[in-house]
Amino acid sequence: MIRKKIQYLLITLFSVPLLNAQIPDGYLREFYTLPSLDTLKVERYYGDWWFGVFGGPNINLFFGDLYSKINPLIKDTLYNPKISFNSTFGGGFYFGAMAEYKPRNERLAYSLGVSLLDRKAFSTRTNQMDDSLKTRFEYKSVLDYIIISPQVKYFSDVSGLYYYGGLDVGLNLRATAKQARRYINSGFIDEFVRVPGIKPNVRMEFNLGIGYEFLLADYAGKSRFIGNPYIAINGGTKALSQLNSSWKTLGLKVGFAIKFGKDYREFDTLRFDETYVEPPQFLAQVSVSGVEFTGFRSPEPLVAAWLAMVELPEIVEEIAEVTTPIFQEELRQREVPGQVRRRIIPNQMVVFNFDRPETTNLSPQIIEYLDLLADFLRANPNFEIRITGHSDNQGTLQQNTQRAATRANNVRNYLVNQKGIPANRVLATSRGALIPVAPNDTPANQRKNRRVEIIVVPR
């Protein structure tokens, strides 16, 4: 049972990058009101370059062959043989600085880290000797390195989650070691000596790990601080080779990094609409006698008015449903003697789809419907329309958001610029690929998600 659970965990962990989703790029949208009453729209994305610091503890397994002399201060003699120490666990810590380059809308990032101090400490001992004193030797050492670590990161489709791997080049900074002889002679006795001439090797190690990035702070609307916990394993060439030793390490690093980077920003100015009139605010309640004003509820006076029913346009002829009542792919005008041709039904959504992912132009069917809609809006000033653009998932987050926005804006621009409908009666928004109506698993379902939705509502 435990083995199966571990298999499921590994399958889930390493199948995440294969999911068909979009790469997170740190997209933010902000709006600022200018003195001219225009609105400045700022769209922000992660920049390419990041700089930061990192650090944390490490746990190491020391294994292989570690040799010393019974008395390290005396050169080789007949009565000073080599002794061998057992494998052991040790600990330590590290800290340093890093730089990272991640091109926009790319999964791969490239970083270079320098650990200014990477300390590995351990304590090991020999087996008990077969003598009357029950002698045992203990060896303690501290190894300090400067570590240079080039790495490659792969960002998965789970926002912030990444995998990484690379090399560690360890340069010896300093090393100390001492050895103790412990035996029983009317009590426990320890004899400590310093081990001279300890010099760790220049090391080459591999490292593999996983990490997660999240936003820590937004600085001045231009830059961001990112937090990054991570965990990695590393191992490589031997650390000590004295007296033909082959003392190796296999390590586990747990750490936290903080990095800082400037955002890439795009600006757009939304002009102030001088024709827009804010609707009055009313306070009313429903009673047996009808709808009536009940009094002020705030220090500022509000306009009181009777609420009247909104009269809907007469429906001359019903349109046959295409697939579902809400999604009508094509609306046709039909001649009715003595009547004005109208096929606009308030509060009912009309949807038009697009054949290809990059298509944003209005089709003849959309234009035919918009011509009818313009006539209806001119004849019914108490109505407005709301337009929402959507996309499938075939592209980056920015591309899909832009395609959906272009589809909605093309509808709005046609009504405002070509048909003369006041801009404050036409509201256009974009939802990108965030709200699919079908799974993006077949071309037919992807076409359903490439759509623009239009609905007529009372003002």
Res. 277 pLDDT band, cuts 50 70 90: low
DSSP 8-state code for residue 126: P
Could you tell me which residues are beta bridge partners of residue 147?
A: 115, 170
Distance CA 331, CA 302 (A): 43
Q: Quick one: average pLDDT of 352-368?
A: 91
Average pLDDT value for residue range 258-271: 88
* Residue 131 pLDDT level (bands cut at 50, 70, 90): confident
The 8-class DSSP code of residue 357 comes to T
pLDDT above 70: residue 183: yes
**Encoded amino acid at 206, one letter:** F
pLDDT exceeds cutoff 90 at 189: no
Range with the largest mean pLDDT of 63-72, 89-98, 212-221, 398-407? 89-98
Residue 148, pLDDT above cutoff 90: yes
- How does residue 138 score in pLDDT terms, banded at 50, 70 and 90? very high
What's the pLDDT at 230?
A: 97
pLDDT of 186: 62
Mean pLDDT of the chain: 81
Averaging pLDDT over each range in 113-117, 195-199, 369-373, which range is the top one? 113-117
Whether the predicted pLDDT of 14 surpasses 50: no
344-374 burial, b at 16+ Cβ within 10 Å, e below that, comes to bbeeeebbbbbeebeebebeeebebbbeebb
Distances (CA, A) of 386 to 89, 210, 374, 401: 66, 44, 13, 18
pLDDT of residue 264: 86
Name the pLDDT band for 199 (thresholds 50, 70, 90): confident
Give the integer Cα–Cα distance in Å for 231 and 212.
Answer: 10
Three-class SS state of 379: helix
Residue 12 has pLDDT above 90, yes or no: no
Query: Can you read off the two tokens belonging to residue 401?
Result: 């958001």
Least confident of 4-18, 90-104, 349-363: 4-18
Measured CA to CA, the distance from residue 26 to residue 159 in angstroms comes to 9
Over residues 53-86, the pLDDT tens digits come to 999 999 999 999 999 988 888 876 677 888 999 9
Residue 396: pLDDT band with limits 50, 70, 90:
confident
Tell me the H-state helices in 169-279: none
- Residue pair 409/427 in contact by the 8 Å Cβ criterion: no
Helices (H) and strands (E) in the chain, counts: 4, 20
> Tokens standing for 163?
């995998």
Backbone angles phi, psi at 158, to 5 degrees: -80, 120
Entry pTM: 0.54
Domain residue spans of the chain: 19-267, 323-458
Structure tokens at 182: 């412990």
Burial class for 220, CB neighbours closer than 10 Å (0-12, 13-18, 19+): exposed
Pick the CATH number of 323-458 from 3.40.50.10490, 3.30.420.10, 3.40.50.2300, 3.30.1330.60: 3.30.1330.60
Mean pLDDT score, 134-153: 94
Q: What is the mean pLDDT of residues 30-56?
A: 88
Q: Looking at residues 169-182, what average pLDDT do you find?
A: 91
Residue 324 predicted with pLDDT over 80 = no
Query: Looking at the predicted structure, is the pLDDT value of residue 188 above 60?
Result: yes
pLDDT of residue 41: 85
The pLDDT confidence band at residue 20, using thresholds 50, 70 and 90, is: very low
Retrieve residue 288's tokens: 């047996």
Among 20-29, 61-70, 167-176, 432-441, which stretch is predicted with the lowest mean pLDDT? 20-29
